[in-house]
Amino acid sequence: MPEISRRARSLGTENAFVVLAEVNELARQGKDIISFCIGQPDFPAPQNVQEAAIRAIREGKHGYTPSAGIDELRDAAAAYLSRTRGGLPIRPADVVVAAGAKPFIAYAILSVTDHGAGDEVIYPNPGFPIYESQILASGARPVPIHLHEARGFAFDPDDLERLINPRTRLLILNTPHNPTGGLLSRGELEQIAAILKRHPQVWVYADEIYSRLVYGEAFFSIAQVPGMLERTIISDGASKTWAMTGWRIGFASNPLLAPLFTRWITNTESCASQISQWAAVEAINGPQDAAEKMKASFLARRDLIVRLLNEVPGVSCLVPGGAFYVWPNVTEACRMIGAADSEAFRKRLLSEAGVALLADIHFGSRVPGEGQHVRFSYAASKEAIEKGVARMAAFIRKNTQKAA
């Protein structure tokens, strides 16, 4: 019998989709489930974006495009990335379009590391699980850098200095951050850049897909630090800002790697959907009222869910700076109900209270000494947030009484 490769057998996954399938199955069985699992806006794409896609279809704009994307979208994305990052000199030739921002994680790792060479990639832990998965699949060595609650879920710069060595080829930064909602400040990014300047062999993958969902301060990219633009891969896209997750449009920029990314796309997806590309041109260049309205709604939901979670017995929750996630500490709640850890807590909350969320182990190994955490996506209605957190509180109170 032919064998499956070790690479395929060990390939990781994104547990948000695994748990979502579990939730959908329970819903099909008639269970009443409130889900906070999936990280996507609960809004339709803006009307003008929808109309642009329909117009593209009717005008016959639905065939193959150049692998790097249509010129109109590369022009729009270059201007957008420049405008939202302090006027950086980003040219359309520096920008490549893919079927979502996610493929650029793999393309970046494959472009700057070599299989079997002992090359290392530093990535945030907790973090988007595809980082570690793609590092391993590429044959590089994953090196987690721990995020700390006391730092607002940033890492200690001394840890970065300690982890970098001559084999380090890439540092992955994600701000605003999934799963914690943490935001790296300008000062923190400047500290990181100062360290990297002593290690010129290290590239930076700046995952900035939530760049427009920043609350309370202006977004700042590490590429804006002098000397960092050429060694930074800026990754952004249409999914979160304009509620276009299923349209699959992402774009990345780097003056040296853009031609390589184009070649990777030719080898894999050929090109992003032309229909979605024309819709993304409209999303970027058209009115931004819908995007701003969504952001305002997310901010109100953030404030609501943080307040409610901090009223739940055994739960504490920091105020995140961006994205649409919270990362509450449930260490005491686990102790109160006799749950061994956050995953046991998650499973019981789903089966006994009908509330679906993700545990910290879905985003990497637990950070030593940081306790137990779960992730809520607050891309859900105000009513769902109120009802879901109330169910969680009632579940903890009920099971604390039993344990007592």
Q: Give yes or no for a contact between 183 and 207, defined as CB atoms under 8 angstroms apart.
A: no
Percent of the chain with pLDDT over 90: 89
pLDDT in tens, 140-191: 999 999 999 999 999 999 999 999 999 999 999 999 999 999 999 999 999 9
Sign, CA dihedral 247-81-235-74, equals: positive
Structural domain spans, the chain? 6-44+290-403, 47-285
Task: Give the C-alpha separation, 149 to 381, whole Å.
Answer: 27
> Which residues face 233 on adjacent strands?
205
pLDDT in tens, 23-47: 888 888 888 999 999 888 999 999 9
Distance in angstroms between the alpha carbons of the first and the last residue of the chain? 56
Range scoring the smallest mean pLDDT among 26-40, 291-305, 374-388: 26-40
Q: Name residue, tokens 């956050």.
A: 342
Q: Specify the DSSP element, H or E, that contains 377.
A: strand 374-377
Average pLDDT over residues 290-303: 98
The answer for 66, left when phi > 0, alpha when psi is -120 to 50, beta otherwise, is: beta
Beta strands per DSSP E along 175-219: 203-207
Average pLDDT over residues 343-349: 96
What's the half-sphere exposure (Cβ side, CA atoms, 13 Å) at 37? 24
Q: Which whole-number Å values give the CA distances from 316 to 33, 89, 178, 322, 345, in the listed order?
A: 23, 42, 18, 18, 15
Q: Give yes or no for a contact between 361 and 126, defined as CB atoms under 8 angstroms apart.
A: no
- At 404 the pLDDT is 60
Q: Give yes or no for a contact between 138 and 108, defined as CB atoms under 8 angstroms apart.
A: no
Q: Exposed, middle or buried, 21 (CB in 10 Å: 0-12/13-18/19+)? A: exposed
Q: Specify the DSSP element, H or E, that contains 190.
A: helix 186-196
Judge whether residue 281 has pLDDT over 90.
Answer: yes
Neighbouring CB atoms inside 10 A of 256's CB total 12
Average pLDDT over residues 246-256: 98
Question: Which of 63, 66, 126, 67 is CA-nearest to residue 360?
Answer: 126
- Its CATH class, for the domain covering 6-44+290-403, is alpha beta
47-285 folds as Aspartate Aminotransferase; domain 2 (3.40.640)
Task: Give the C-alpha separation, 188 to 158, whole Å.
Answer: 12
Judge whether residue 65 has pLDDT over 90.
Answer: yes
Average pLDDT over residues 347-365: 95
Task: Give the C-alpha separation, 205 to 173, whole Å.
Answer: 6
Average pLDDT over residues 189-214: 98
Q: Give yes or no for a contact between 374 and 346, defined as CB atoms under 8 angstroms apart.
A: yes
Task: Give the C-alpha separation, 243 to 45, whole Å.
Answer: 5
Q: For all residues of the chain together, what is the average pLDDT?
A: 96
Confidence of residue 9 (pLDDT cuts 50, 70, 90): confident
DSSP-derived letter for residue 364 is: B
